[in-house]
Chains A and B, each alone.
Chain A
Amino acid sequence: MSLTLFALTGAALVGLGVYGLLARPHMLRRIIAFNLIGSGLFLFFGAAAARGTGLDPIPQALIITGIVVALSASALAVGLVVALARSSGTAYLPDEEGRL
């Protein structure tokens, strides 16, 4: 019961993150949305791993690895956004700006 609940929450979080990534042009919000997708997938994966007999440590180790990699990717992305804002004065991509 609870596992299904957690898995469906994870699926909904992935959906929320995908929406944020597509519909929110501000780059900092896109980084947050990207992190929502990641954590939703981790939750789905973790719930799936807990379905078998007992708690499987291998998915847990993979999720911890994933969390650390997500942080390093976010740090690089934040650096790129700040560099973009410094050179262009906005945190929006050029083609998005034309659409606004």
Chain B
Amino acid sequence: MSVALDITLCALVLGVGWATVAGHGVFRAVIFFITYGLLLAIVWARLGAYDVALAEAAISAGLTGVLLLAAHGRLRRLNASQEVPLHLNLPAAVVAVGIAAGLGWAWFALPAPTAPDLSQALPQSGVGNPVTAVLLNFRAWDTLLESVILLAALLGLWMLARDHAWDKPLGLPYHARPGGVLASFGRVLPPIGLIFGVYLVWAGADTTGGAFQGGTVLAAVCLVTIMAGVLHAPRVEQAAWRAALVLGPGVFVLSGIAGAVFAQGFLALPPALAKPAIVTIEAALTVSIAVTLVLLVIGPPDEGEQDA
């Protein structure tokens, strides 16, 4: 029974994935990609990786979907969304089939991995969710540098702004029809989303959830309110938004230095203090992740295309 479910799921994922590549029209590809992300989240849940399933649904399907939809809208305004007719490209097909076949062969050739046993180390980490323990304690370096990568991507994006648009609000001007669906959602969804996002971060210490999933939900709340015109779009020069961007990496680095001075080394957390330290870092990191994701999705300062 469960195998039948898995076969159906995989067939759906492959079919929708095929449609994003082979279907006609860029807009259709974007819509299929969002569907694809949601289906893949179910696959992750079938694998038992619920933290990854949440991240996949919130980040890959949700935020990437908004990003691609907004990009399609901008390209349409620039008359660059039309596509030339698609043809079968045989050399590319040969390369693609070769790579897929190689990966498939690797699956049967690879030895089964022997995972390190974390069950002894887990009580030392201060949290009950092993994925959170890995992200914020055992492999905190990865997460620290990841938060810096987010900032670097945002700086790269802002560099694409034109000089005279620099002090304009970020992203395109948004208009929501008063009393329309978006305007109502912009007021109804945020309270629910806020509670859910904060819950995901708090619960992430011991069960499914975490700073990235919670931060993404909070980012989505912020995006909806900006797009509905309830909240003004931020500007590059506003100090509060800039402070929110560096809060997470800043707290993370400071705690790392404190570890180097008072404990065994950089980013090392003594077991007695691990839980409060992780919760503090996660709270700061959530704010920064949420704000960075919002700013990444709405894009560089822009005053519309009328002066292009």
Contact = CB atoms under 8 A, between A and B. Distances in A.
Interface of A: 1-20, 22-26, 28-29, 31-33, 35-36, 39, 42-44, 46-58, 60-65, 67-76, 78-83, 85-86, 89-91, 100
Interface centre among B6, B80, B153, B300 (most CB of A within 10 A): B80
A100 B146 CA distance: 39
A74 B64 contact: yes
Nearest to B147: A68
B296 interface: yes
Given A47-B47, A52-B115, A71-B60, A61 B96 contact: no
Nearest to A33: B21
Contacts of A60: 49, 51-52, 131, 134
Interface of B: 2-3, 6-7, 10, 13-14, 17-18, 20-21, 26, 29-30, 33, 36-37, 40, 43-44, 46-49, 51-52, 55-56, 59-60, 63-64, 67-68, 70-72, 74-75, 78-81, 83-84, 86, 88-89, 91-93, 95-97, 99-101, 103-104, 107, 110, 112-116, 118, 130-131, 133-135, 138-139, 142-143, 146, 149-150, 153-154, 156-157, 160, 210, 212, 289, 292-293, 296-297, 299-300, 305, 308
Contact of B67 (A46, A75, A80): A75
Contact of B21 (A20, A52, A55, A100): A20
A32 B30 contact: yes
Given A7-B107, A79-B156, 13 more contacts: A9-B13, A15-B99, A39-B60, A44-B107, A48-B110, A52-B113, A61-B131, A67-B60, A68-B289, A72-B153, A72-B296, A78-B70, A89-B79
